[in-house]
Chain A
Amino acid sequence: MTMFLIKKADVGNIAQELSREYQIYGPMIEKGSGQTFFDRAQDLAEINLSAPIPSNPPKSVVFPQMERILSYEYDRAKNAVKMEPDYKIEPRALVGLRPCDLAGILCLDRFFMGQEFVDEVYLNHRKKMFIVTNTCVAPFKQCFCVCTDSGPAAGEGYDLNLTDLGKECLVEVGSEKGTALAAKLALKPANDSHLAMKKEKVDKSIAMFEGIAVDSKAWISRVMNRVTTGFVKEDVWEYVGDQCFECGACTFVCPSCSCFNIADVNNPECAGCADRLRTWDSCSYEGYSRMAGGHNPRKPVEDRRNKRFFCKLSYSQMKKYLRPGCVGCGRCAWVCPGDIGLPNVVTYVRREITR
């Protein structure tokens, strides 16, 4: 693998160089609230690679919360239809992506592009994307990526990967696009000693989980068997369901949740014109599985809840997507008003096993 070194003071040059071709997205600390958000940078200096994990995953850059996929016009007088696929996708660069969030994008990749049918809209987003990941040299409070094999260092899928080695950053190249960018920046080559330094940093980061990442633990491998074979007792799901407010927040902050709805919206200013929009949807909503006519095969909330955890934690998903649906970012636990983020649910299921 090709590796380079960049002075920490010069790391901003990467975003600077990318901004010639790409819109730049990165983690930024919001003035006032002090919260970190992953958003489009108007000013590249705002991107803060040492900011805490962003409140929102970068999912929305590659899979927007609301997106037009088609527009059409039906002229009834002439009985003519004009239709065109309508998704304008700009080249975008994600700078300072955390490894868990990259794992989330890889989950979406496998799902949208890796099966019988390829999702064209997603594919177009993805083709025009540049990804710079940022190794987590220390975990945050809610992290549990060590339980889900998605951190603290990124393994694959990036164009460039940065690791803070103190005065300098190690830059690992993961793609041809990354090679080309590194060449433009005329970086100093790195050697195996720097890689060893990275390994030390990562090992230290893992060791820090016990002291710092105290909010969540999720021993997922143990739970998978139970969830897959259907041996989780009804009352566990009922308990989880009773706690659910059906707000959908867990699915919206999840880096790998991908369910969407499609709706045609008429344009009030043009008779017969409409846009076909696809928007995020959540399996916790009562209307999610309700059919026209009112029949709903998933009526009780616990039924809908266990479907989400089945989706994240089953062997069949593992077989399809090669990893659990959870990437260990801890955001669902963070936002859930009912305290049934994934780590807690894993605990409830495990408690039942060990009882």
Chain B
Amino acid sequence: MSQVLNIQNGKIVTVPEVATIEEIRDEIREVKTFYLSIDNKEIWNNFKYKSGQFIMCTIFGAGEFAVSLPPSPENDRFHITVRTVGKVTSALHGLKPGDKVGLRGPFGNGFPFEEFKGKNLVYVAGGIGLIPLRSSIVHALQHKKDFGRVLVLHGARTPDDLMYKENIKEWQSFEGFETYITVDAPTPDWKGETGFVHTLFDKANLPVENTIAFVCGPPVMFNTVIGELLKRGLPDENIYSTLERHMKCGIGKCQHCAVGRTLVCTDGPVYTYRQIKTLGEEI
């Protein structure tokens, strides 16, 4: 059972936990990573979550937003990676180390990792779609012996839009960990692959048997990649993604994240493609 901030005995408490920004790192244009620690040490020490879950973050004076948890649940500093897309995320980008934010969560289902044991894991991420998958990737890296091949395929618009460049370099050095990178619009100094992310499938000799694929990225990329995976014979139920919606409460009450008959905050954000197909809504 994960320790949940602000949820006690199934009852939600509306007050967020105060956290301090320890460090801020620039990732790519408009995207920064914020390293955080929760001020209440007792809660901080017991704070646990599953990869794939998300958290609600309050920027005092601006509002609250939902953000995925990219660090692995184990042995990693707690951080969030956020792009400026609206009022609240812009306010976050204006903060400095030492400033306070509020946190509620973690919410959502997370990846069912127990079911992935002994399988090949394929991560396909377009642009900042790598953020919600990072947690699971690092987890797989820490438990490499439990899995077969582990592949990370990352595509971005330009070399400047590639996420977590430092991390990817690190991952490449791990034995049995394969990373493939491509960009759509290369700069003159780009020496790597060009083309959309699914064009890497052949180069990577993508496994199909006994394989779980994780797909995350903009809607256009999502549809193309899923189509390609299905064509290669990957079954619907072995393709996972995390959905994004406008969220307010995180506990299934405000209904802003309703997709079909499910709610992203409680039934998601992790869905299999088999589920997504039946939701009857755009991604």
> A residues bordering B, Cβ < 8 Å?
69-70, 72, 74, 76, 79-81, 83-85, 111-112, 115-121, 123, 230, 258-264, 266, 272, 274, 276, 278, 281, 283, 288-293, 295, 297-299, 303, 307, 310-311, 314, 316
Say if the beta carbon of B99 comes within 8 Å of chain A. yes
Q: In the docked arrangement, what's the CA distance between A262 and B256, Å?
A: 10
CA gap between A295 and B99 in the complex, in Å? 30
B252 engages A115 (CB within 8 Å): yes
Min C-beta distance of A116 to chain B, whole Å: 6
| Residue numbers in B under 8 Å from A303 (CB-CB) | 281
- Check: B188 CB closer than 8 A to any chain A CB: no
| B254 touches which of A85, A266, A281, A291 (Cβ 8 Å) | A281
Q: Which of B12, B64, B88, B261 contacts A118 (CB 8 A)?
A: B12
| CB–CB B253/A112 < 8 A | yes
Q: Are B63 and A263 in contact (CB under 8 A)?
A: yes
Known: A295-B219, A297-B283, A298-B281. A117 touches B89 (CB 8 A): no
Distance in angstroms from A163 CB to nearest chain B CB is 35
Asked whether A314 lies within 8 Å of B16 as measured between CB atoms, the reply is: no
| 16 additional contacts (CB under 8 A) given A259-B254, A272-B60, A291-B244 | A72-B102, A79-B99, A83-B15, A115-B252, A117-B251, A118-B11, A120-B12, A120-B13, A260-B254, A260-B255, A261-B248, A289-B256, A292-B88, A295-B219, A298-B282, A299-B282
B91 CB to closest chain A CB (Å) equals: 10
Contact present for B100 and A120 (CB under 8 Å): no
**Are B16 and A292 in contact, with the CB atoms below 8 A?**
no
Partner of B253, one of A258, A264, A310: A258
Prevailing SS type, chain B contact patch: loop
Number of interface residues of B (CB under 8 A): 44
Separation of A45 and B259 alpha carbons in the complex (Å): 48
- The reply to whether the CB of B43 lies closer than 8 angstroms to some CB of chain A is no
* Set of chain A residues within 8 Å of B246, measured between Cβ atoms: 288-292
Q: Identify the interface centre among A259, A263, A292, A293: most chain B CB within 10 Å of its CB.
A: A292
Residue of A nearest to B86 (CB): A292
Count of inter-chain pairs, beta carbons less than 8 A: 121
Q: Which residues of A contact B281 (CB under 8 A)?
A: 297-298, 303
Name A119's contact: one of B65, B253, B256 (CB within 8 Å): B253
Contact B62 A264 (CB under 8 A): yes
Asked whether A83 and B16 contact (CB < 8 A) given A262-B249, A295-B219, the answer is yes
Q: How far is the CA of A179 from the CA of B13 in the complex (A)?
A: 33
* 27 A-B contact pairs sorted by A residue (CB < 8 Å): A69-B14, A70-B15, A74-B60, A74-B100, A79-B100, A81-B100, A83-B16, A83-B102, A85-B15, A111-B253, A117-B7, A117-B10, A118-B12, A120-B11, A120-B13, A120-B14, A258-B253, A260-B253, A261-B254, A262-B248, A264-B62, A264-B63, A283-B258, A290-B246, A292-B88, A293-B86, A316-B261
Contact status A81-B63, CB under 8 Å: no
Contact flag A72-B253 (CB < 8 Å), given A276-B14, A292-B65: no
B 1-46 contacts with A by CB, 8 A: 7, 10-16, 18
A342 to chain B, nearest CB (A): 18
Q: Which residues of B contact A259 (CB under 8 A)?
A: 254-256
Alpha-carbon distance between A292 and B248 when the two chains are bound, in angstroms = 12
Chain B residues numbered 216-275 whose CB sits less than 8 Å from any CB in chain A: 219, 244-246, 248-249, 251-256, 258-259, 261, 266
The 4 closest A-B pairs by CB, nearest first: A292-B86, A74-B60, A293-B85, A117-B251
A116/B10 in contact, CB under 8 A: yes
Q: Bound state CA distance, A260 and B250, in angstroms?
A: 12
> Which residues of A lie under 8 Å from residue B62 when comparing CB positions?
264
Tell me, rounded to whole Å, the shortest Cβ–Cβ distance linking A184 to chain B. Answer: 32
Report how far A76 CA is from B100 CA in the complex, Å.
9
Give every chain A residue within 8 A of B61 (Cβ-Cβ): 74, 264, 266, 272, 274
Chain A residue nearest to B261 (CB atoms) is A316
Of B18, B88, B253, B256, the residue contacting A288 (CB under 8 A) is B256
A274 to B251, CA, bound (A): 23
Give the chain A neighbours of B255 by CB distance below 8 A: 258-260, 283
B60 touches A81 (CB 8 A): yes
* Whole-angstrom distance between the Cβ of B36 and the nearest chain A Cβ: 14
In angstroms, how far is the closest chain B Cβ from the Cβ of A211?
Answer: 38
- Residues of A contacting B60 with CB < 8 Å? 72, 74, 81, 272, 274
CA gap between A307 and B280 in the complex, in Å: 10
CB distance from B199 to the nearest CB of A (A): 25
Taking a contact as CB atoms closer than 8 A, the residue among B12, B65, B98 that contacts A117 in the complex is B12
Residues of B contacting A262 in the complex (Cβ-Cβ under 8 angstroms): 63-64, 248-249, 254
Q: How far is the CA of A81 from the CA of B64 in the complex (A)?
A: 15
